[in-house]
A and B are shown apart, each in its own frame.
Chain A
Amino acid sequence: MDPIILKSAQLSERAKYRIISLYSFSVAFAGLFFNPPEEIASGLWSIMTSPSILLSDYFIIGNIGASLLNSGLLMLLAIFVASRSKSLMNGPIIAAVFTIGGFALFGKNLYNTLSIVLGVYLHSRMNKDHFGKYIIIAYFGTALAPLVSQVSFGFGLPPLIGVLAGNLFGIGIGLLLPPLASSFVRFHQGFNLYNVGFTAGITGMLFMSIFRTLGYDNKGPSGTYQEFNPFLLGFFSLMFISMIFIKYRASDKPIGYYKSILSHPGRLVTDFVSLNGFGFTLFNMGILGLVGIIYVFAVGGVLNGPVIGGIFTLVGFGAFGKHPRNSIPVMAGVFLTALIFGDGPGSTGAILTALFSTALAPIAGQYGPIAGLVAGFIHMSIVSNTAYLHGGMNLYNNGFTAGFVAAILVPVIEAYRKENENEG
């Protein structure tokens, strides 16, 4: 059993909320410096009326300013709803807020996420439960936001009917997801950190199959932003470095204590805020952010909407299972596979796969770096075959893929390792 260290109380809940809100606000505020207000307004409109299916770079569909504003506002909204539902600012909530912010650069927006959250809320009311019990599912469930946008704007329906139908589908998804997410988590035994990604993949596959039967199909992905933007690099690097330094104000433990975070395998449910405190959790998030940025530039990539989204997700799950020791081996597996068998590790697709493959970090954490490398290889091999199944309706395609990888690998590894090696 891991040592339990409930030191997160060092910082009050209000302070944790304020810090995460400040980061969210900084993302929204930064957007105002990239484009003038009229361009941001028109960019936001373009974003909210786009089909948003995977892979839609909001930097291209709208512009950088509008994308960052969309991202920051969605994060702030998620924090506000979490606060109203009396949720603790712990690992799952932080992961969800940053994941929403990241995907708000390439698929989620103020229009297409609300009906899904409303659907989950209705589910909670129907079960006479409070919404806080379902908030994680609601937040990660917005992975299917493109389904709302695609029905609203992508199938060529009359505008009013499209918007009505899209939102009804969104509410329907929200009603379906809670029982499905809870059930599917057993499929991969908690080794896929993006569990809703798997659930959303199955749900998206169901809906896409029905749409195809009815004669509707999705267009291909839009292009991605490919310019080097030093201001984006500077802003996000500063953000992650600040997370590292906040540790020195939020925790009085020596830096060596970080080894305690690195010792966790990272399986669901590993909440670093509860286990190791808020300060070291932010420290870990900052380190992972820098790992992400260094990786992107080391392989010759650029920071565009999806890539920043990938880094944000890595950072968010730095509060909920990921750390460099369990993430880097899986990324290395993807890197080597792209280098040896693919078109190279520098394309946006290969970079995204490397960043999001860290959904499988618990495999490296539990079974060691070689297993992590193998997981990365299998993940890279499967991921290109899964997007067709849901037609890009599920933004967490890597989470969908990781579910299969974990479900295949874990029983095989378990069958051939010594008994009683699992932690007590």
Chain B
Amino acid sequence: MKDEKSKMLKIMNELVRFYLKSGNHSVRIALDLTDHEGIVSLEGCCTKIDEKKLEDLNDILNSPRKDEAEEYYWNLVGSNDFSEIHLLGSLVNEGEVKYDGNVLKMRVKRYF
């Protein structure tokens, strides 16, 4: 569990950043931690978002974990004004992106 809470916080920050950069200024966030996994769920209203961008995001969130990058680079996620969405993808096990009726929902899971 060492650093796992910090990593989940950074993952959450990066996803919130994605919402804000997409022109959304109201996001509801839930963070659930157990001994074995962490889940971040976000929901917000997005009036204009590129659907291709969401498809890409879904691919990134479901790409395989890349352990070799984790310990070296995880501090970059959610810590500055630059997108680290690819790095985030290497830290999470699975993700779900849904866009329906101008509401963007995201849920990512990371196993500890």
Give me the interface of A with B, judged by CB distance under 8 Å.
1-4, 6, 82, 87-88, 90, 92-93, 127, 129-130, 132-137, 178, 181-183, 185-186, 189-190, 195, 267-271, 274-275, 414, 420, 422-424
Contact = CB atoms under 8 A, between A and B. Distances in A.
Contacts of B82: 189-190, 267, 422-423
Nearest to A96: B68
Contacts of B56: 1, 3-4
A186 B76 contact: yes
Contact of A424 (B53, B67, B70): B53
B63 interface: yes
Interface stretch (B27-35, B84-92, B98-106): B84-92
Interface of B: 2, 18, 21-22, 53, 56-57, 59-60, 63-64, 66-76, 79-87, 90
Q: Which of A137, A268, A424 has the most CB of B within 10 A?
A: A424
Contact of A1 (B66, B73, B79, B83): B83
B76 A136 contact: no
A178 B81 CA distance: 24
Contacts of A269: 69, 73, 76, 84, 86-87, 90
A307 B27 CA distance: 52
Given A4-B63, A182-B72, A269-B87, 13 more contacts: A1-B83, A4-B56, A87-B67, A130-B67, A133-B70, A186-B75, A186-B76, A186-B79, A189-B80, A195-B72, A269-B69, A269-B76, A422-B83
Contact of A132 (B21, B67, B74): B67
Contact of B86 (A132, A133, A270): A270
Nearest to B57: A1
A127 B75 contact: no
Contacts of B90: 269
A422 B85 CA distance: 13
Contacts, number: 101
A16 B48 CA distance: 41
Secondary structure at the A interface, as helix, strand, loop or mixed, is loop
Q: Which 5 A-B pairs have the closest CB atoms?
A: A424-B21, A4-B56, A133-B71, A87-B68, A269-B87
Contacts of B2: 127
Nearest to A136: B72
A59 to B, nearest CB: 32
Nearest to B87: A269
A274 B71 contact: no
Contacts of A133: 67-68, 70-71
Contacts of B75: 182-183, 185-186
B10 to A, nearest CB: 11
Contacts of A93: 68
Contact of B74 (A92, A182, A195): A182
A133 B81 CA distance: 26
Contact of B66 (A3, A88, A182, A190): A88
Contact of B85 (A1, A132, A182, A274): A1
A127 B2 CA distance: 8
Contacts of B81: 414, 422
Contact of B53 (A1, A6, A129, A137): A1
Contact of B72 (A88, A137, A414, A424): A137
A2 B86 CA distance: 9
A275 B86 contact: yes
Given A133-B70, A422-B83, A185 B76 contact: yes
Name the residue in B18, B68, B75 with the highest tally of chain A Cβ atoms < 10 Å from its Cβ.
B68
Contacts of B79: 186, 189
Nearest to B81: A422
Nearest to B18: A424
Contacts of B85: 1
B76 A271 contact: no
